[in-house]
Structure 1
Amino acid sequence: MEAPEDPGHGAGPDRERGTVVGSKAGSSAEKWRSRITIWGPILAAGFLTVWNVVKAAWTANGWVPVVALFVAGLAFNGMESIRQLAEDNREELKKIADSKGTATHYSNAKEFYEALTGAVKEADFEVRATYFRRVPPTYDKAADDYFRACISWVHAKSHRKLLRVMPEPATPAMREWVEEQREHSKRRLRKGAYKLKYIQIDVTNVLSIAVIDEKTVFCAITMDDDVVRGYSLTSPDLGNYYKQYHQMLLNSGQEVF
């Protein structure tokens, strides 16, 4: 008579394999729970949006169903675009945080504009700037010299560009100064070399910037119409960041010339 088989005999390796498999399964389940926690609400919101659009399209006539279904497709595609954009922004911010640049501080308008004038004279191809003050630069010699240097710089070589953003003038003195800039652009400069646009902005305690060749950034804080303090940064990564900010302002502006 055969002896009954020992149920525990040879079960050691199987038990170990079971433990490993169970551990992997638990890890996989944890990953899926994490994904569901993050993406569940987003997918649910997307599904409800698309469902409501499809319902509206089903009961509509003419071209409305086609447009509605197209919008539904964009909603799903947009979710992936948003995720990718967030990932790109994280990488860009990390790059900026890791960048090593040099900073110089200026305690008054004379120091700031003299340094900015020197940077413009050494620039190669592009100067981007904002002017967020309520008085024209003609009231300040160092500031006036800077604006004159910008005109001379962009006039010197054909590949150079000067791009400026400012609020619409609120005083006769500011309007007169803008007309002087327009005349400089028409009489001395080739078409498109100097662009000026107006934007809607409150100039009270606003940060003015200048971006030189996408690598050197000047920032000025105007405490009132007379007091200007600022700093400059030299870093290609930061320069590119401020260039994009300036381009956003430029795109939203009203063209003057």
Structure 2
Amino acid sequence: MLYSRFHAFGEDMEQPVLVFLHGLLGNSDDWRACTGDLQAQTCFTLDLPGHGQSRDVRCASFDETVWQVKETLIANHLSNRPVVLVGYSLGGRIAMHGVANRLFAPLDIRGLVVEGGHFGLISATDRALRWRHDQRWARRFRREPITAVLNDWYQQPVFASLNEAQTQHLVTRRSENSGDCVAHMLLATSLARQDALLALLKAQPVPVHYLFGAQDSKFSRLALESGFPSTRISKAGHNAHQDQPQVVARVLREQVLRQISLRQSEPV
């Protein structure tokens, strides 16, 4: 089972529990500022395999990772509560995979919020290029000091909005990871191995809401092209909930949860 904990406790048992899934190199503490602004709502975070206090947990595929998340939620008695999944980057891709392929049953998933998560590569060429890309990073994470690898990792275009101080802060925080564990998870859940999820997500009943940072040009485009309801987070890059945690909390509270409440109150 994955390490997990509750961060806030709403009193209304009919209200959805917000379940937060972090990105690659992160852990459940990444959501602390966001959950701290959601005190009236029950919030639940966990450490994905190979990360934080789940460092020694391994997975081999998206299916296995979804199963581990699901079993952790069930063990914490969340099969009796409605759930909204909130996933950032890798966490968003894991959540999308589970929802799109209907792997979270018997959990009652009422909504899916994706922050900066990729819907999947279409062409075999793009998949092959991505696999070679991820293999190169995995070799570096296994063989080199993690701080040196991270200094290069945060030079990738998706992190272009970070200034020097922000980059060094992330390098310091993420250096607590095990390079071997990161490499294993990177390959097990590589974008090259992910299904193309957009059509599958549109064919299933769980509503999807997409969050993206205004300074994240790649995922701004993906969000708008997807056709899903989306929210642009001003003054934020790829990691919007780190840059603007109170704004993301407000979006969850005022748009996502409110819309779920309105749908539940509609006459049948």
> TM-score under structure 2 normalisation?
0.26
Give the TM-score taking structure 1 as reference length.
Answer: 0.27
Please tell me whether Structure 1 or Structure 2 has the larger radius of gyration of its CA atoms. Answer: 1
